[in-house]
Structure 1
Amino acid sequence: MMSSDGDYITPDEIKNALELLDKDEIASKKRLTAFSSQWHTVINEVDSVSKQFSSLNSLKENLFQIQTRINDSSKLAEDISSKVRQLDKIRGRVSECQKRVQDLLDLQLCSEGVQIAMKNDELEQAAAHVHRYLSIDQTKLQRTADDMAQDCSMITNALKHLQDATELLQNTVSKRFEQASLTQDSKSIERYFKIFPLLGMHDIGLEKFVDYLGRVLQVSADKNLKNVMETSLSSNRASIVFADGLTFVFEEVAKTIEVQQPLIETHYGPEYIFKFLSHLQMHCDNFSNVLLQTFLKTRKIKELLKNLWDESDLNIDKPDSKDIDLLIEEIVLILARYDLYSKFVCKRINADLESKTSSAKLILNNSKLCCSVQELMGKYLEFERYYMEESIKKAMMMDTIEGDDDALTSSMVDDVFFIIRKCVMRSLRSGSLDVLCAVINNAVNALETDMCTFFGQILSAGYPGSGYFNRFTPDLEKIRQTFLASLNNTEVAIEYSKSLSQTFREEIPIKLYDCNTDKLDSCLQDFSRVNASLVTSNRNGFRQLQCSLVEPKLLAWMEPFYEQNYKMNESEFTQTEADNPFVQTLILNVDGLLREFKAKLTSNNYDVLVVALAAESSVQLEKAVMKTEFNRLGSMALDKVVRTLINYFSGASAWPIREKFARLVQITTVLNLERVSDLNEFLSPDSGMRFSWKLTPDSIKQILKLRSDFREDEIRKIKL
């Protein structure tokens, strides 16, 4: 037998192939058996599907019938729609034809009616016919006649008659209106005024009517100006007579608008209100400007403004602030009346007009009156600034400490902030946010340059102590009192400034129409500059007080500390613990000083003084301690001194005091160690004190050396 590597198959390979064929045969028989067992099920499913196909055939027939009906309905709808469009077109032509016929009839009636009405002097009836004629499209009339193949002579004659009648009627109404206005015949004026819009003469009629109203107002304005000029100086309203006069002009114009607006809206239409107000405002400008120019001349505004800031001629007397105050009140009243009038005009613009506010503002902003008022606002700001600055200077010159010698503040702070509030709230009446912000800026500058500088100069001069040279200073007590009053004034002024700024922030938006709160807040932020300047002056004053009073006194009161022995035995420690003359005397002296100043300082400044005394006591006592030797008992006595001082100062003020003694407490802690090695417990991370130490390593070693019972070599071994 040949090997498997030749061309012949081996018996093993044949055997394996036969086994595979047997397995495939068995599997095939199993599948055939399974298929044959499912044959009846397959036959049933085929029958079911066949039945469903038969039902689908009937459904197909139904769908075909529906499609046919839809197509028929669609064709029918298109036919109907086409006929409807034709009917609409025919109806439109019929309507147009009817309108042309009606226009022809109206044209004939108007032509005949105008002639009859003119003969009977029935102007309203004639104007109604002309109005109907003007509303007809004449080109369509001609085209109608051509389309009807008729002679156009009838239409041409009617048109000619109506055109001639229109011109005649327009001339007649214009002339009769002029005659009625000359004779002040109000009924005839109103009658002819109503006819103008019927003749298409809206603008002409409105202009003539406003001219008539202007002449009527002119009479009242002249009479008003005469009354103003003849007002006696002894009259109660002599100081505001021009404001009253301008108010009268505004009221007369407002009454005219209020009375005539319904007439114009009814017969001319709401769109003509704007033109009416524009024309009438021109007359208002003339009346108002005459009065304002007379006001400027009579009150000598130009001369006063020149003298306010003129420093070249020293012989010129500056205007008195009281007189300027009266003048400012009248100017502000004028501005307030103008603001009220402008709001009235805004309201009278018809609500149907778009952008009614902008339209009203357009009328006023383009007027001569607005320009004059803006110029007057500029003059008002100059007068207000002068009054404010002069009044503040007077308040500083007349500054007094009212009452007894222990008064906390002087009169200046109340006076200055009263003046500031008065000026700002007065500017609010002008109705202009720009004017208000300008006055606030002037107020901030005045507070900075005058009041803050005044306090700064007094506090920078220092508090005179009790030294040898100070005994020869005249009015020493008065200088001290002035210093302390200024110190209190700065603290009170800070509160006033914050309160005033907040008050403005709350009240102004309520009282000022259409207030821009962002702009107002930005302006009021400038009060922070005043507060910062006052805080700087206050701190500088306390530095001066500390240098001239606190430090010298505490330095003297610390002298007994050096006389006491802190290397104590048991008996000395017991006696010192029961009665320590140093700390008792120190507290007695400090308490006496605080009692003296408590009645002279505000509560806040008093607390600042207590803190300053506490801080300086700690510093001075630390210096004394660093020059003294201690043993264990002496360190315990020092700890009692420090704790006694802390308890005293903590009870003297509501402010935290312990922080001022932090270094001193740590010094006594180091001095009270039993052994030098005990310091490692405080310096370990687990002690919780490592990061709160205020003493440097060199300072700690120096403090350890103050203990006479600690050895030098043990101190050197400490690792800090």
Structure 2
Amino acid sequence: GIARIVETHQPIVETYYGPGRLYTLIKHLQVECDRQVEKVVDKFIKERDYHRQFQQVQNSMIRSASAEKIEPRELDPILTEVTLMNARSELYLRFIKRRIISDFEVGDSMASEEVKQEHQKYLDKLLNNCLLSRTMQELIGYYITMEEYFMRETVNKAVAMDSYEKGQLTSSMVDDVFYIVKKCIGRALSSSSIDCLCAMINHSTTELESDFREVLYNKLKQGFPATTFQDFQRGVTSAVNIMHSSLQQGKFDTKGIESTDEAKQSFLVTLNNVEVCSENIMTLKKTLESDCSKLLGQGFGGEQAQAKIDSCLSDMAAVSNKFRDLLQEGLNELNSTAIKPQVKPWINLFLSVSHNIEEEEFSDYEANDPWVQQFIVNLEQQMTFCFCFQAGLSPVIYDTLTGLMTSLIAIELEKVLLKSTFSRLGGLQFDKELRSLIAYLTTVTTWTIRDKFARLSQMATILNLERVS
């Protein structure tokens, strides 16, 4: 209503009083505006019990196990109303600012720099010290604390209600958590307040980095359980004792096996969750960059607005990298627990096959491969059937894991190679084995692996020379 009055009467003021007088009119109108704002806000605070709700939220955040913990969904409509009120206020103040600035520019065209600066101070004082600005700043201050509580409690619920459906790569909490985070940041964005938006981006970043990442870290910390075959290899007799005890009772208890399978599935799902979290954070960052650019383009925010937003978004990118680091830690754990104990003995079998051979043995090896074909079969079974890695991991993680496996194979194979003795035909046999191995590994990963086997290829070349000169 007041904006319409200004728009209607501005030409009259300019005609009869000259340019530069609009400020005086708006200054008087703002007094009435503040009076009406006070009534509206007081009514809102009373009807929504805003201060009591804030106090309850504050107490709940200080004492997390409070008996009077407020239900987050009760805050949802209140928080939406506050951001709507602030958006209207920001729109009004931006309109007033634009009109007064344009009026001053016309009136001050011949004025000194001191007069222009003085008029700018008048404008800043009017916009910043009016009751409308101060009241909305107070409401938004309460809102930020309540929105943080809403986000934290709802995220905790999403984690507590986490579930996994067969055939899915991730569990439910990832989508739920990012829906909540986007909702809270989106609501702060709708307030048109840059400070409010930056505060909520920072709270969201902290929630993802500290609380949610900690949940995923603790799941990965439990490790990937060793298989029964690995336990047997390591001489662990507990599985045998359990089986013996079960058979004595006339039944075979599969509970231990089932729980192990669940633990494996949980570990793989958590790896997928971590990867998706990292991607979601970067997607959210790009979306916010676009949304903030539109908001600033409409004239909202002060001189430092862009710098504030850039700082918040750079923190978000840093958190995405921390999730990437966590993923790498999990993959290293999976590689060292599930792959290395299996692959290393298979590679060591290379030592039991003589490569100091003559023509007859070379022909026999050609007909009945002594090592590499069985090694490839073992790898294939491990990666696809034994642990269901290919089905249980996202394509990106599976590729990274096979990359770690190929690095491990190259390192371990080089070690056994240095312990072996070769004739020229033995060198030729190794060259064939290496080519077969590289050909297979190339089919299971999209990454280039030839660089990892470069040293082994050079060794094979040297072994095929008649003499080194």
State whether TM-score is above 0.5.
Answer: yes
Residues 40-85 of structure 1 deviation map (CA, whole Å, 9 limit, x = unaligned): xxxxxxxxxxxxxxxxxxxxxxxxxxxxxxxxxxxxxxxxxxxxxx
| Cα distance in 1, alignment partners of residues 58 and 322 from structure 2 | 27
The answer to whether the aligner puts 1:599 opposite 2:360 as a matched pair is no
Match of 1:477 in 2: 261
Superposed CA deviations along residues 263-300 of structure 1, whole A, max 9, x for unmatched, are: 54444444432122111211211221132123223323
* 1:353 equivalenced with 2:104 (yes/no): yes
3-state DSSP class of the match of 1:306? helix
Q: Report SS of the residue matched to 2:170.
A: coil
Pick the aligned partner of 1:486 from 264, 270, 277. Answer: 270
Query: Is this contact kept in 1: 2:89–2:132, CA < 8 A?
Result: no
Counterpart amino acid of residue 299 in structure 1: R
Q: Secondary structure at the match of 1:407?
A: coil
Structure-to-structure mapping, 1:262-281, within 5 angstroms: 262-281=11-30
Offset of 1:530 from its aligned partner?
0.8
Aligned to 1:656: 448
1:508 Cα deviation from its structure 2 partner: 1.7
Looking at structure 1, the residues matched to 196 and 202 of structure 2 have their Cα atoms a distance apart, in angstroms, of 10
**CA distance in 2 between partners of 1:339 and 1:582 (Å):** 74
Q: Residue in 1 aligned with 2:198?
A: 437
Q: Which residue of 1 aligns with 2:207?
A: 446
TM-aligned CA distance change 1:444 to 1:293, over 3 Å: same
The code of the aligned residue for 1:408 comes to: L
The root-mean-square deviation of aligned C-alpha atoms, in Å, is 2.5
Aligned-residue offset at 1:602:
1.3
Q: Deviations over 1:219-266 (max 9, x none)?
A: xxxxxxxxxxxxxxxxxxxxxxxxxxxxxxxx3x33444454455444
Letter of the 1:397 partner, please give it. A
User: Are residue 363 (structure 1) and residue 126 (structure 2) matched?
Assistant: yes
The answer on whether the counterparts of 1:577 and 1:640 sit within 8 Å (CA) in structure 2 is no
Structure 2 residue 51 is the aligned partner of structure 1 residue 282: no
Higher relative contact order (CA 8 A, sep 6+): 2
**Match 1:588 to one of 372, 377, 384:** 377
Alignment partner, residue 327 of structure 1: 78
Task: Give the aligned length.
Answer: 424
In the TM superposition, what whole-angstrom CA distance separates every residue of 1:389-435 from its partner, at most 9, and x where no partner exists?
Answer: 22222222222223x2x421222222222222222222122222122
- The separation in 2 between residues aligned to 1:301 and 1:315, in whole angstroms, is 19
2:323 is aligned with 1:531: no
Cα contact 1:274–1:349 (8 A) shared by 2: yes
Question: In 2, distance between residues paired with 1:530 and 1:427?
Answer: 20
Pick the aligned partner of 1:394 from 153, 157, 161: 157
CA displacement 1:151-176 (0-9 Å, x = unmatched): xxxxxxxxxxxxxxxxxxxxxxxxxx
Tell me if structure 2 keeps the 8 A contact 1:488–1:602.
yes
Give aligned-pair identity as a percent: 34
Offset at residue 463 of structure 1 (A): 0.9
Asked whether the equivalents of residues 273 and 349 of structure 1 are also in contact (C-alpha less than 8 Å), the reply is: yes
The one-letter code matched in structure 2 to 1:572 is: E
Tell me, yes or no, if structure 1 residue 556 matches structure 2 residue 348: no
Answering whether residue 357 of structure 2 is matched by residue 568 of structure 1, we say yes
Alignment partner, residue 180 of structure 1? none
TM-score w.r.t. length of structure 1? 0.55
2:202 aligned partner, one-letter code: N
Q: Is the 8 A contact 2:353 2:370 kept in 1?
A: no
Contact in 2 for aligned 1:462/1:483 (Cα 8 Å): yes
What is the identity, as a one-letter code, of the residue corresponding to 1:497?
Answer: I
**For the Cα contact (< 8 Å) 2:428–2:464, is it kept in 1?**
yes
Per the TM alignment, residue 323 of structure 1 is displaced from its structure 2 partner at its CA by 1.6
CA contact (8 A) 2:359 2:425 kept: yes
1:247 is matched with which residue?
Answer: none
What is the distance in 2 between the residues matched to 1:431 and 1:266? 34
Contact 1:570 1:633 in 2 (8 A): yes
CA distance in 1, matches of 2:57, 2:335: 43
Q: Give the counterpart letter for 1:319 in structure 2.
A: I
- Which letter does structure 2 place at the counterpart of 1:298? E
SS at match of 1:399: coil
Tell me, yes or no, if the aligned pair for 2:285 and 2:317 is still in contact at 8 Å. no
Q: Which residue of 2 aligns with 1:223?
A: none
- After alignment, is 332-341 or 267-276 more displaced? 267-276
Contact 2:87-2:193 at 8 Å conserved across structures: no
SS at the partner of 1:431? coil
* Residue 337, structure 1, aligned to residue 88, structure 2: yes
Contact map agreement 1:277 1:363 (CA 8 A) in 2: no
Aligned to 1:231: none
- The secondary structure found in structure 2 opposite 1:593 is helix
Alpha-carbon distance in 1 for matches of 2:394, 2:160: 23
Separation of aligned partners in 1, 2:257 and 2:368: 41
SS of residue paired to 2:292:
helix
SS in 1 for 2:350: helix
SS of the equivalent of 1:401 reads coil
In 1, distance between residues paired with 2:315 and 2:200? 12
Shift of 1:563: 3.2
Q: Counterpart of 2:143 in 1: which secondary structure?
A: helix
Q: Distance in 2 between matches of 1:474 and 1:558?
A: 30
Structure 1 counterpart of 2:345, one-letter code: A
Unmatched tracts of structure 1, length 5 or more: 1-250, 681-720
Distance 2:171 2:267 in 1: 11
Query: Partner residue of 1:463?
Result: 224
SS in 1 for 2:453: helix
Question: What does residue 408 of structure 1 align with?
Answer: 169
1:72-151 equivalences under 5 Å are none
Q: CA deviation at 1:540?
A: 0.6
Q: Say which one has the larger Rg.
A: 1
> SS of the residue aligned with 1:525?
helix
Q: Would you say the 8 A contact 2:225–2:263 is kept in 1?
A: yes
Q: How many Å apart are 1:372 and its aligned residue? A: 0.8
Query: 5 Å matches for 1:163-178?
Result: none
Residues 615 and 314 from structure 1, CA distance in 2 versus in 1: closer, same or farther, beyond 3 angstroms? closer
Aligned to 1:621: 413
Amino acid at match of 2:271: L
- 8 Å contact 2:357–2:423 — kept in the other structure? yes
Q: Aligned letter for 1:407?
A: Q
User: How does the TM-score come out when normalised to structure 2?
Assistant: 0.83
SS at match of 1:379: helix
1:363 is matched by which residue type in structure 2? Answer: L
When residues 352 and 616 of structure 1 are mapped into structure 2, their CA distance, relative to the original with a 3 A threshold, is: closer
Give the corresponding residue for 2:403.
Answer: 611
Q: Paired residue for 1:95?
A: none
3-state secondary structure, aligned to 2:21: helix
Per-residue CA deviation, residues 523-558 of structure 1 (Å, 9 max, x unaligned), is: 211112212211111111011101110111112323
Q: 1:347 to 1:615 in 2, by over 3 A?
A: closer
Deviations 1:289-330, CA, capped at 9 Å, x for gaps: 132123223323323223324344844332222122221101
Letter in 1 for 2:358: N
Deviation at 1:371, TM superposition (A): 0.8
SS at 1:526 equivalent: helix
Q: Report the equivalent of 1:27.
A: none
**Cα distance in 2 for residues equivalent to 1:511 and 1:579:** 71
SS of the residue 1:618 aligns to: helix
What does residue 511 of structure 1 align with? 295
Code of the aligned partner of 1:322: R
